[in-house]
Amino acid sequence: MGFQKSNAPVAIGRGPSRSQLPSNFSVARKDAVVSDLPVRSSPRTAHKCISTGSASFDLLLGHSGLPLGSIVFIEEEGNTDFASVLLRSNATQGCLDPHTKVLVFGVPKTWTSDLPAEKPSADQQEHPTRSMTAQDMRIAWRYQALAATNVDASSNTSLVRRLDLSKKLDPSKIRGSLTTSSTTQSETMLNEICKMVAENPGNIIRVLIPQFLNPALYSSTFRQPQEYIISFLLKLREFCNKYKEQLTIMFTISLSLYPRDSSLTSWIERMSDAVVHIEPFKSRANDAVVSQTKFQGIINVYRLPILSSRGSMEESIYEHAFRISRSGFEIEEWSIPVDVEANDADSSGKSTSLDY
């Protein structure tokens, strides 16, 4: 049978005209909800990221924010609790956005009374440019330019809300949702996370677990045997993979209770996307360093979200230091301070000959 030529035009995927559609018909735009979410694209991987409430901590994570679907594990040496500042800043960042739900486990309701407040709009101004001093002239020009670039990168992020740790968040200023739960039962925690995600489709869910596995908060049935904890963490990992467009988890642990060389801590690090280690300065050993730099400790990075899982070596050990100021948790590049005046005095003196 031969083919017959036809002059009838062929429609190329053309649907019905708008006049032929029913009056109650509406097309769901995919970006209608996403455009309102407080997210930005990672400059390195283009993944959607949210702010943790600390601009310098966002930069430390390698994406100028925390990628959605990530688990952040913060381990801290000693008996201090600097990590709680990061968690409270993260909670405040979520509370100030109407499309974000914050869920905190293992804490009483009074935990929310210590959330930092947002700075007034008049105080959210750029860092003023200062004139070059003699001390600045001692720094190489390329390092001076690098420092200025880091300040601008952290101050121009529109998603980061500037906080004031000297003031407390007014409950009337909460535009999102903040839920605290004192439960430390694994099944209950997992069910509440599933319920929160199911009831808020399209919204950002921030799950915070401070002082994870603290014996004062968690019963022995949760902490032993170790397989129960690993099973709970695997379930959290499954949730983040399933709801990678809206869920983030951040929790802290004390290394004085669970040392880093223990098998449990090693398993937690393997199942986390980001591993951050806080090492506060000793009270006496570094008094001279602390007095000159005002730093309170070292912050190390062992894993970064997405980048480390792809095989990129992104560790930074003894390269950054932190301090808690009125503006929040601040991180800067760490270097041992040099006593310039002492060096100038030594160089101006007469050189002594050496006898061999």
CB count in 10 Å sphere of residue 155: 14
Q: What is the pLDDT of residues 27-56, one digit of tens each?
A: 444 433 445 788 999 999 989 999 999 999
**Residue 147: pLDDT above 50?**
no
- Tell me, yes or no, whether 141 lies in a domain: no
**Where is pLDDT greater, at 159 or 135?**
159
Q: In one letter, which amino acid is 294?
A: K
- Tell me, yes or no, whether 293 lies in a domain: yes
Give the whole-angstrom CA distance, residue 314 versus residue 276: 12
**Residue 190: pLDDT above 60?**
yes
**Residue 124: pLDDT above 60?**
no
What is the mean predicted confidence (pLDDT) over 104-122? 88
* Reported confidence tier of residue 11, pLDDT bands at 50, 70, 90: low
What is the mean predicted confidence (pLDDT) over 149-155? 40
- Tell me, yes or no, whether 156 lies in a domain: no
What is the mean predicted confidence (pLDDT) over 65-86? 95
pLDDT at 37: 81
**Residue 199: pLDDT above 90?**
yes
**Where is pLDDT greater, at 309 or 352?**
309
**Residue 15: pLDDT above 70?**
no
The answer to whether the beta carbons of residues 299 and 24 sit under 8 Å apart is no
Indicate the pTM of the whole model: 0.76
**Residue 23: pLDDT above 60?**
no
**Residue 26: pLDDT above 70?**
no
Domain span at residue 200 reads: 68-119+164-336
What is the mean predicted confidence (pLDDT) over 7-29? 51
- Tell me, yes or no, whether 52 lies in a domain: no
pLDDT at 239: 95
* Reported confidence tier of residue 309, pLDDT bands at 50, 70, 90: confident
- Tell me, yes or no, whether 106 lies in a domain: yes
Characterize the bridge pairing of strands 297-303 and 274-280.
Answer: antiparallel
Give the whole-angstrom CA distance, residue 72 versus residue 58: 12
- Tell me, yes or no, whether 23 lies in a domain: no
Find residue 102's DSSP bridge partners. Answer: 178, 206
pLDDT at 6: 58
274: nearest Cα among 57, 18, 110, 126? 57
Give the whole-angstrom CA distance, residue 233 versus residue 229: 6
If DSSP states are collapsed to H, E and C, what string results for the chain?
CCCCCCCCCCCCCCCCCHHHCCCCCCCCCCHHHHCCCCCEECCCCCCEEECCCCHHHHHHCCCCCEECCCEEEEEECCCCCCHHHHHHHHHHHHHCCCCEEEEEECCCHHHHHHCEEECCCCCCCCCCCCCCCHHHHCCCHHHHHHHHHHHHHHHCCCCCCCEEEEEECCHHHCCCEEEEECCCCHHHHHHHHHHHHHHCCCCEEEEEECCCCCCCCCCHHHHCCHHHHHHHHHHHHHHHHHCCCCEEEEEEEECCCCCCCCHHHHHHHHCCCEEEEEEECCCCCCHHHHHHHCCCEEEEEEECCCCCCCCCCCCECCCEEEEEECCEEEEEECCCCCCHHHHHHHHHCCCCCCCC
What is the mean predicted confidence (pLDDT) over 172-194? 92
- Tell me, yes or no, whether 32 lies in a domain: no
| Both structure tokens of 56 | 């310098």
CB count in 10 Å sphere of residue 1: 3
* Reported confidence tier of residue 314, pLDDT bands at 50, 70, 90: confident
Percent of the chain having pLDDT more than 90? 55
Q: How many domains does the chain have?
A: 1
| Both structure tokens of 331 | 């991180």
What is the mean predicted confidence (pLDDT) over 262-281? 94
Q: What is the pLDDT of residues 206-253, one digit of tens each?
A: 999 999 999 998 888 787 778 889 999 999 999 999 999 999 999 999
* Reported confidence tier of residue 102, pLDDT bands at 50, 70, 90: very high
Check the CA dihedral 274-145-53-38 and report its sign.
negative
Q: Is 289 exposed, middle or buried (0-12, 13-18, 19+ CB in 10 A)?
A: middle
CA atoms lying within 13 Å on the CB side of residue 323: 13
Give the whole-angstrom CA distance, residue 81 versus residue 273: 22
- Tell me, yes or no, whether 54 lies in a domain: no
* Reported confidence tier of residue 159, pLDDT bands at 50, 70, 90: confident
**Where is pLDDT greater, at 42 or 10?**
42
**Residue 131: pLDDT above 50?**
no
**Where is pLDDT greater, at 301 or 340?**
301
Q: What is the pLDDT of residues 243-269, one digit of tens each?
A: 999 999 999 999 999 999 999 999 999
Give the whole-angstrom CA distance, residue 46 versus residue 36: 18
**Residue 1: pLDDT above 60?**
no
The separation between the first and the last C-alpha atoms of the chain, rounded to the nearest angstrom, is 110
**Where is pLDDT greater, at 289 or 262?**
262
**Residue 155: pLDDT above 80?**
no
Characterize the bridge pairing of strands 48-50 and 66-67.
Answer: antiparallel
Find residue 50's DSSP bridge partners. Answer: 66
Q: In one letter, which amino acid is 105?
A: F
What is the mean predicted confidence (pLDDT) over 89-115? 93
The answer to whether the beta carbons of residues 349 and 339 sit under 8 Å apart is no
CB count in 10 Å sphere of residue 300: 17
**Can you give the CATH number for the domain in which 279 is found?**
3.40.50.300
